[in-house]
Structure 1
Amino acid sequence: MLIAILASVLAACSSGHDSTTPAAPGGGSPTAPILSASNGANPGSSPTSPSRAAGYPTAEAAPGAAVPQVRDAFAVLQATYNDGCTTPGNCEYFLTRVLSNLDDLYKSMKASPKGSGHFAGPLTWIRAMQDTLRGDFSFPNLKRHQKLLLGTRDKVNTWMQSHPADYR
């Protein structure tokens, strides 16, 4: 009986909503759309490619899970400064990670009790980056926009460094 209950709970959890529908171009969802490996985008990428895997650029949180605090999302983003495209075979992982971390920080800032007005600059920069990518999280597109990704990360970092109360 316990197994039957667990099986029904797991089935209910895995039958959630469809997260493969991208946002409408030029607006739509306030966060970057989620790309699923099964939606046919990036036909040349390998199925195990980080930018092609289900849930990129970010995976949806479990139902009822709290959005991380801004300081926690920012700490994860700062860790990207110890990585880069200099290691062979690491560039795709790195760029996808920066994108995912910026998206997570965007969600955290939007959910912050301080209000999105407090984070107007970083939210605008991240949204502009998301709009420029237009839902294409393939490695070739991320590589083409590498300067934008890292520039956005750096602008957000500079802004956050001048607002230490937001990350301490």
Structure 2
Amino acid sequence: MLLAAALVTGCSGGHSTASGSGPSGSSATATPTPGSTAAEQAGSSSTPSTTASNGYPTTPAAPGAAVPQVRDAFAVLQATYNDSCGTPANCQYFLNRLLTNLDDLGNSMKASPKGTAHFGRPLAWIGQMRTALGGDFTFDNLHKHQSLLVATRDKINTWMQSHPDDYR
């Protein structure tokens, strides 16, 4: 009986009208369904989300939210230095994270008041990486291009270290 109630609640919890209210007029909140994984509950999958405009993985942002500053996106990218494909179960997470963080940094550079000319080299490296991936963000393709992803991160890190005013 309890399981049936949980299933009914889980099946009806994520549906709402355009106004954000459920059929009873109360505000609907997303509730995890029984048996769903943490990734499903968080709204993610085994690959990064894609933007509608270019199909490239990015970190989901709230509508109208400002793009993070370059220094903040760079700090998130630098945190990938503590991660690797050294643990097989961690490799997919690491490569997806690295790809998404590089894309987020590229978006921050494009939105920076310094302009894209200032960030020309890092943006070119990110562009070359995107071209090499060819729109295929599957784990197999990311694993195939693992050295390119890591090299892109490392080149950007070296470039940023010579431009401390961009990350401090």
CA separation of 1:157/1:9 partners in 2, compared to 1, >3 Å: closer, same or farther? farther
CA separation of 1:125/1:79 partners in 2, compared to 1, >3 Å: closer, same or farther? same
| Residue 67 (structure 1) aligns with | 67
Identity, in percent, stands at 66
Unaligned stretches of 5+ in structure 2? Answer: 1-15, 22-43, 51-55
Superposition pairs for residues 10-49 of structure 1, below 5 Å? 10=20
1:92 aligns with 2:88: no
CA distance in 2, matches of 1:116, 1:49: 31
SS of 2:67's equivalent?
coil
One-letter identity of the residue aligned with 1:89: A
One-letter identity of the residue aligned with 1:77: L
CA contact (8 A) 2:109 2:119 kept: yes
CA distance in 1, matches of 2:128, 2:90: 25
1:114 aligns with 2:114: yes
The aligned length equals 126
When the two chains are superposed, the root-mean-square deviation of aligned CA atoms in Å is 1.9
CA distance in 1, matches of 2:45, 2:107: 24
Report deviation, 1:54: 3.9
CA distance in 2, matches of 1:145, 1:10: 42
Larger Rg: 2
Q: TM-score normalised to the size of structure 1?
A: 0.70
Q: TM-score normalised to the size of structure 2?
A: 0.70
SS of 1:90's equivalent?
helix
